[in-house]
Amino acid sequence: NAGVMQNPRHLVRRRGQEARLRCSPMKGHSHVYWYRQLPEEGLKFMVYLQKENIIDESGMPKERFSAEFPKEGPSILRIQQVVRGDSAAYFCASSPRGQNTDTQYFGPGTRLTVL
Amino acid sequence: KNEVEQSPQNLTAQEGEFITINCSYSVGISALHWLQQHPGGGIVSLFMLSSGKKKHGRLIATINIQEKHSSLHITASHPRDSAVYICAVYFGNEKLTFGTGTRLTIIP
């Protein structure tokens, strides 16, 4: 029973390039959350998705960032025209029902470095 | 404003000591997570609780809803417990708000 999977684990991009981060939730989980951890800072909520729906994107920067969770395949966090300030660890988590009494299971994270 | 505060920020102790990490939050919550982030960066959910007390091995988590406070205790601490411990709460919705974490170092 595989846990939450994220790939790549490490991603290096030059300024202006695009970054695509993937998250496959645990089997049977249809709710996905993305979080960002800037260097030496705490985790911050970015977006909450269900299959084919964005439920809450209040933590997403208004520009360059987008997320999707299609009917088939992993959830994707996309960052266009990356800047140095996007360098961070991006974690996704999944839960079975999306309720605030559910445990969230975290993936290993993707560490993005922007040169 | 919905806020989560942890104390201490850093904690160094000798192997075997009893450890307590505290978490306070500003308004009522529906549930609270304690998470462990390993030196390699991975995050593990230790407990989720909305009332009372939970125990798993050497770890104990308690929550006092009236006082808006939770504690994580580690008994007979071991160097492998060295990690960052993070408190995260649901302020009534589905997204977690995180504390800044407590960096624990256990010296052999």
Nearest CB to A89; choose among B41, B93, B98:
B41
Cβ of B48 within 8 Å of Cβ of A106? The answer is: no
Contacts of B92 in chain A (CB under 8 A): 100
Say if residue B29's pLDDT is above 90.
Answer: no
Say if residue B108's pLDDT is above 90.
Answer: yes
CA distance B73 to B17: 11
Q: Which residues contact B65 (CB under 8 A, 6 or more apart)?
A: B28, B50, B51
What pLDDT, in 10s, does the model give residues B67-86? 999 999 999 999 999 999 99
Say if residue A19's pLDDT is above 90.
Answer: yes
Say if residue A24's pLDDT is above 90.
Answer: yes
Is the model more confident about B50 or about A2?
B50
CA distance B25 to B75: 24
Contacts of A10 in chain B (CB under 8 A): none
Contacts of B88 in chain A (CB under 8 A): 43
Interface test with A, best of B96, B97, B100, B102 (most A CBs within 10 A): B96
HSE toward the beta carbon, residue B7, CA cutoff 13 A: 4
Rounded average pLDDT over A74-79:
98
